[in-house]
Structure 1
């Protein structure tokens, strides 16, 4: 897999899945643009470290993806976007009647509307360059629902639909658009939840993971950020040139039920 000469923009990529994807794309030779809403020395250092380790150009660009103009400006500032990975996301859990309006608005903006805005700027760039790969991070919750996650489920279902529309609109271009739908992935955020789960249910670590956190994931194993990055890299390959408008589940069998 050789992505030299390609530039990948990965939103929400200073940790977790986004960072894993950016790292795997850099390993394949792509120049990468990292992004989050913070502006810290460590954000820029993270990009510098990836660039130095993998011999690519790596930059960090701050953008608050809850704001459409900043989402669009991210792609414009990148200057080139051959590979777009829309990954940024947040979560809030509450019953519909108690769900804060501001949380609903933020989740939809960051996880769904931002993907529309970044793609609207990136697709013309890809057409001009004669090649493009759009990879949207959806979720098992883009295919299945869970209670108390109305905004998250709505946003992820929306991402799947938006991906399909984009694939149809670019079907006769050398551009593909697909959605990756992970179940539970081992990230720093998930790792931080394990001790609280152990305490809440009075369980040891292994039991808390398998019986509570991974209750709906039949494999009883987390996916890894490297695996998500590997799938994203595959979708950029020539072998995946006719894979477009689809979802790829990485959920240990969750959505097979």
Structure 2
């Protein structure tokens, strides 16, 4: 029998504060979660009593080591679904798989994303299509599949990992910026449609987090800008963030835990910047 998540509808404020990290019995589906931000969120869910469906690309043996290690470390059920985010039917099947295997879907995190750095006139058309599919369209397909499940449960939390680039632009990132702006618009629409269903939808907009996708950007930016990697890191990557520091995954997890808690019930359709002051400029 699937354990039902604890409900705090009548809890006092003090109880809600104590329960902000309690995800006992809840089920989270997290795309792009075999590394980086997605894996950090998955670990946070599992450490707090939730069960997780991982998803992402990579070496199959390494993914299994990650899955099994997280399950052994936390005692949570941790499953993996290999959905290709460029195929909407596979994305929907990932959500259906979570419901079939774990009994419910309480949290959906649309995190999968890729990047390509190039001037618009030279931007490969296949890369444009791939980035729009993975960074934007996959969020639609996963959300579309999750909504009926969450409605039947009477509660749900959808968190879209957008980016500072969902709010502002940078050169040489046309597809990524377009997709992340789209994620924020999609977030607002979903929030309005579900406002009376006890289902929230919010976007988290990180600045630069030190992940493999950022390491690749450093190389690409050095090429497109004819700069050294050291200068790119200092003046392009961290140059955008007044703190001159990377955002950490722990800081993103803190915002995530608030948004999926009962305390976050009135946060809806919002975009939360965690970018060291980048978009304040």
- Tell me the TM-score range normalised by the shorter chain: over 0.9
Q: Is the 8 A contact 2:114 2:213 kept in 1?
A: no
Q: Specify the alignment match of 1:67 in structure 2.
A: 87
In structure 2, what is the Cα distance between the partners aligned to 1:133 and 1:95? 37
Q: TM-score, normalised by structure 1?
A: 0.92
The correspondence for 2:264, drawn from 240, 244, 253, is 240
- Structure with higher strand content: 1
Segment drifting more, 194-203 vs 36-45: 194-203
The yes-or-no answer on 1:177 pairing with 2:210 is: no
* Mapping 1:213-252, distance limit 5 Å: 213-252=237-276
Conservation of the 8 A alpha-carbon contact between 1:21 and 1:230: no
The gaps in structure 2 that reach 5 residues or longer are 1-20
- Give me the whole-angstrom Cα distance separating, in 2, the residues matched to 1:153 and 1:196: 16
- Displacement after TM superposition at 1:60 (Å): 1.1
Deviates more, 1:39-48 or 1:165-174: 39-48
Is 1:142 the counterpart of 2:166 in the alignment? yes
Q: Normalising by the residue count of structure 2, what TM-score does the alignment of the two structures yield?
A: 0.85
For structure 1, list consecutive stretches of 5 or more residues without a partner in the other structure. Answer: none
Tell me the equivalent position of 2:186.
Answer: 162
Aligned match of 2:137: 113
CA RMSD of aligned residues (A): 2.1
1:51 equivalent to 2:71? Answer yes
Q: What is the total number of aligned residue pairs between the two structures?
A: 255
Deviation at 1:154, TM superposition (A): 0.5
Give the secondary structure class of the aligned counterpart of 1:178: strand
Within 5 A, what are the aligned runs for 1:74-85?
Answer: 74-79=94-99, 80-85=104-109
Tell me if the contact between 2:117 and 2:220 (Cα under 8 Å) persists in the aligned partners.
no
SS in 2 for 1:8: strand
**Alignment-derived partner of residue 42 in structure 1:** 62
C-alpha separation between the residues in 2 aligned to 1:198 and 1:67? 32
Does residue 1:27 correspond to 2:47, yes or no?
yes
Deviation at 1:3, TM superposition (A): 0.6
Cα distance change, pair 192–2 in 1 and its aligned pair in 2 (3 A): same
